[in-house]
Amino acid sequence: MTIKLEKQTIGIFKELKKIKLDSVIASDFSKDLDIDYIVLMSAINDLKKNSLGDFREIEVNQVSLNKEGKSYLDKGLPERQLLNILLSNNNQEISLQDFLKISKFDKKIFYVGINYMKKNKWVAQSKVGEDIKIILIQEEFPKIEIEILLNKFKDNLKLNYKDLLPEEQKIIDTLNKRKLIKRENKIQREIALTDKGKKITLSQIKELQQVSKLSSEMIISGSWKDCNLKPFDISKPGPLMQRGKIHPMINLINEIREIFLSMGFTEIRGPIVESAFFNFDALFQPQDHPARELHDTFYLKNPKTARLPQNKVIQSIKNTHEYGGDSGSIGWRYKWDENIAKKTLLRTHTTATTIRRLAEYYKNNDKKPIKMFSIDRVFRNEKLDKSHLAEFTQIEGIVIDNNVNLSNLIGIITEFYRKMGFEKIITRPGFFPYTEPSMEISVYYDKLGKWLEMGGSGLFRPEVTYPWGIKNPTRVLAWGLGLERLAMLKFQRSDIRDLYINPIKWLREESYR
C-alpha cells in the first residue's frame, strides 16, 4: 500500500516521526520547525484525512507578566529594591519618612515594598513616640520563592498554569493578587501520529503532484490521474489592480478651465510653433531685446520662416518700433527688420497666442468686449533643475473692454486664486515691454508661511494695441501665470520635474476624480 501526500505534508510527517513523546503542542512545534502555524495545521489535516495523524484541542490557562510585572523582572520586586537601598547605604535603621525620601519611590509602591519586607522578616518596624523606624533584622537575604518563580518568565514569556507544581500555582495566585500578571484562556492544539501513522514507513509514502492546470498531454497520457488538482479558493479576492486615472496635472488644468469658464471667459489655443512677429515684435519687444537671444528662445531651422499677417499691420508694427507710429510713443528708434520678425520659434509665452486673438479682433472689426483665457505650453531654453523646466505651462488671459482698469485686473486675478484656494494675493510693480502699468503677482501659501511669485500682468501699452485698432477708451487687461508653480503647491511636490517624470508612488496617492 502506498499513500500519496503533498511534499509539505511529507516533510512534517517526517518531523513528527522523529518525536519521542506521544504528542506535541502545535504552536511550539511550528516555532521549533520554523514553519507557519497555518501551514503546519493544514498538513496535520492532510495527515488526518489519511488517518496518519490527528490533533485534539485543550483549553489552557496562560499566565504572563503585565507591564508592572515585567519591570520588576528587570529591576527586582519593590521589597528587593528597597532592601538594596538599605544595604548599599549601610543602613541598619532608618526612619520611615527618610526611607521614603531616599528611595524616590511612588508612595503606594513604597508601602507595598515595606509590607513585603516585613512579611519576609527582613525588617521590623518600631514606633518610638511619633517616629516610625525600619530596622534590618537579618544578615542574609536569599531569593524568596516569588522571585524564583518570577525568573521563570525570563525564558518563557507565557507559562501554562496547569503545568506548574501546586506550590508554584500558589505563588502565581499571590502574583495575581499583587496585580503583576495577566491570565488568558487559550485553545491549544496537541498533535500526534495515529497508530497507523507510527507504523507506516516513509518508503510507503509517495509525493503527490499538485497542479493548477491540466494540459492536453496530461489528459492524453493519463498522467492527470496521479495529480492532485489544486482547488481554487473562490472566496479570495483577485489580484489588486491599479486602475488607470486622469493625470493630476490634467485634473488641475480642468479645474482652472472650469474657473475661467464660470467667470464668463472663453478658451483659445494657438500654435506652439510661432513667428517672432507674434511672440516678440507685436509685443513691442525691440529686435535686439536680450530675451530673443538664443539662450532663451528655441529658434527653428525648419521651417525657417513664417508667413506674416497683412501688410498694413506689418507696416504699423514697423512704424511703432521705429518712431511710435500713431500710438503717441517715440518708439525704440532703430531700423525694424521684417526678416527677423519672420523667424520661427517655439513660443516662449502664450502672450503670442493672445496677440493672435487681437489680430482676429482686428480682422473681424469686432467692437464687443472680450474675455478669454488659454492654458497652454511654452518653451524656454532653461537648465533643468528643481524649480525650472524648459517646457512649461502658462495660464494666460485677457479682457478687452472700454475703460477697464488696474483694479478690474486685480479683481479678476484675486477671484481666480481665491477659487483655487488661495485667500491672499499681493501685487507689486513689475516690468514687461508690452504692459504699462505692469504688475507681478504673488500668492500667500500658509503651509510654508511664504509669498510665492506666480506671474506677470498689466494693461497692454498703446504700442501693442494701436496696430490692431484698439484705442482709447478700449483697453486690454492681460496676465500670464505659471501653472507648474501652482501645481507644486497643490500637490506638495518640492521638485518641479516630478510633475512630468511621474513618480508612480505620487500618482497612486493622488485621488481619483
Residues 348-377 that bind ligand PHE (CB under 6 A): 349, 351
- Does 379 engage in binding with ligand PHE (CB under 6 A)? no
For ligand PHE, the closer CB: 432 or 466: 432
Report in angstroms how near the CB of residue 414 gets to ligand PHE at its nearest.
16
For ligand PHE, the closer CB: 103 or 457: 457
- Does 457 engage in binding with ligand PHE (CB under 6 A)? yes
> Which stretch in 65-73, 204-212, 268-276, 452-460 sits in contact with ligand PHE by CB under 6 A?
452-460
- Does 456 engage in binding with ligand PHE (CB under 6 A)? yes
> Which stretch in 19-27, 207-215, 252-260, 456-464 sits in contact with ligand PHE by CB under 6 A?
456-464
Residues 177-196 that bind ligand PHE (CB under 6 A): none
Q: Determine the residue type at 390.
A: A
Is-cis flag, bond preceding 473, omega within 30?
yes
Residues 479-498 that bind ligand PHE (CB under 6 A): 479-480
Q: Determine the residue type at 132.
A: I
Cα dist. 245→99, 242, 377, 456, 491 in Å? 71, 9, 22, 33, 16
Residues 323-352 that bind ligand PHE (CB under 6 A): 349, 351
Sign of the C-alpha dihedral, residues 236, 240, 244, 248? Answer: positive
According to CB under 6 A, which one of 180, 191, 259, 478 is a site residue for ligand PHE? 478
- Does 458 engage in binding with ligand PHE (CB under 6 A)? yes
Cα dist. 92→88, 125, 134 in Å? 11, 12, 8
> Which stretch in 68-76, 246-254, 325-333, 455-463 sits in contact with ligand PHE by CB under 6 A?
455-463
- Cα–Cα distance measured from residue 509 to residue 513, given in angstroms and rounded to the nearest whole number: 12
CA 62 to chain centre: 41
- Cα–Cα distance measured from residue 321 to residue 334, given in angstroms and rounded to the nearest whole number: 7
Alpha helices in 263-310 (DSSP H): 276-279
- Cα–Cα distance measured from residue 106 to residue 233, given in angstroms and rounded to the nearest whole number: 57
| Mask for 422-451, x = binds ligand PHE (CB under 6 A) | ----------x--x----------------
Binding residue count for ligand PHE, defined by CB under 6 A: 11
- Does 467 engage in binding with ligand PHE (CB under 6 A)? no
Instruction: Output the nine-digit C-alpha cell for 244.
Output: 488607470
Report in angstroms how near the CB of residue 465 gets to ligand PHE at its nearest.
12
- Does 318 engage in binding with ligand PHE (CB under 6 A)? no
Report in angstroms how near the CB of residue 432 gets to ligand PHE at its nearest.
5
Pairing of strands 24-25, 435-445: unpaired
Residues 106-165 that bind ligand PHE (CB under 6 A): none
Instruction: Output the nine-digit C-alpha cell for 287.
Output: 529686435
* CA proximity to 201, closest of 6, 7, 10, 8: 10
Residue 151's contacts (CB-CB under 8 Å, 6 or more residues apart) are 73
List residues binding ligand PHE (CB under 6 A): 349, 351, 432, 435, 455-458, 478-480
